[in-house]
Amino acid sequence: MVDATHPLSATSLAWPLPDRTDLRDQLLAAYANGRGYHDTRHLAEVLERLDELGESGNAELVLAAWYHDAVYDGRRHAEERSARLAESDLTGADLPGTGVDVAEVARLVRLTAHHDPGPGDHAGEALCDADLAILSAGPERYREYTAGVRDEYAALSDETFRAGRLAVLEELAGRDRLFRTAYARERWEPRARANLRREIEELRSVR
């Protein structure tokens, strides 16, 4: 059972497999396992952003959100390993009558490695936008986000972390658009651009 004080209790989205709450609880345990940014709060925020985008009724999309950072241990190919976990869990689950396309769930999870869905990929656009929506957070939440990311790379020196973080931010800032859905471009992109510029300037100013 989910604790009533758990961050996920704040979201209006339900776990889409009511007969397999054991899988939900396993995922909650994974997200709560000593992470920095990619924790249960991040999961809740992605689910809430999907709801904001009007996607709460898409079972594959909601499941992909639950699984997208299920494996996150600082090693490479976390998204691929998360997708494989989704395939393993859901293929072996008793899903008759749910209409869930396991291959679609895994495909969506894999998209979060680069956040670059193809043209017309509505579900992919929604998930990638929801995952990147933290970039549009207010000042306090954005500071918490960046601190959480730094915690996840605590083993790296400040210099190495700054170089890697700058590379990620500059790649994002160089995109023609951060978000693919019209809603996100209108409501999230301006603040996200401002946050990226500010963080890049701060990182570049460190000597």
pLDDT tens, residue by residue, 81-101:
999 999 999 986 666 556 789
Flag whether pLDDT at 68 surpasses 80: yes
Query: In this structure, are residues 137 and 195 in contact, taking their beta carbons and an 8 Å threshold?
Result: yes
Give the pLDDT mean for 123-133.
98
Flag whether pLDDT at 9 surpasses 60: no
- Give the per-residue pLDDT at 201: 97
Give the pLDDT mean for 2-9.
45
Would you give the DSSP letter of residue 14?
P
CA dihedral 163, 165, 170, 172 (to 10 degrees): 160
Percent of the chain having pLDDT more than 70?
Answer: 89
3-class DSSP state of 128: helix
Evaluate whether residue 83 is within a structural domain. yes
Give the pLDDT mean for 147-163.
95
Flag whether pLDDT at 137 surpasses 90: yes
pLDDT bracket for residue 121 (50, 70, 90) = very high
CA atoms within 13 Å, Cβ hemisphere of 134? 22
Evaluate whether residue 23 is within a structural domain. yes
Per-residue tokens: 92: 């072996």
Evaluate whether residue 2 is within a structural domain. no
Evaluate whether residue 71 is within a structural domain. yes
Evaluate whether residue 1 is within a structural domain. no
Flag whether pLDDT at 70 surpasses 90: yes
- Give the per-residue pLDDT at 162: 97
Compute the distance between CA of residue 182 and CA of residue 9 in angstroms, rounded to an integer: 28
Neighbours of 95 (CB within 10 A): 16
What's the number of domains the chain is made of?
Answer: 1
**Domain span including residue 133:** 7-205
Query: What percent of the residues of the chain are helix, what percent strand, and what percent coil, each to the nearest 5?
Result: 60, 0, 40
What's the CATH number where 163 sits?
1.10.3210.10
Give the pLDDT mean for 160-179.
97
Predicted TM-score (pTM) of the model is 0.91
Evaluate whether residue 117 is within a structural domain. yes
Compute the distance between CA of residue 87 and CA of residue 205 in angstroms, rounded to an integer: 44
Evaluate whether residue 60 is within a structural domain. yes
pLDDT bracket for residue 75 (50, 70, 90) = confident
pLDDT bracket for residue 11 (50, 70, 90) = very low
Compute the distance between CA of residue 103 and CA of residue 125 in angstroms, rounded to an integer: 17
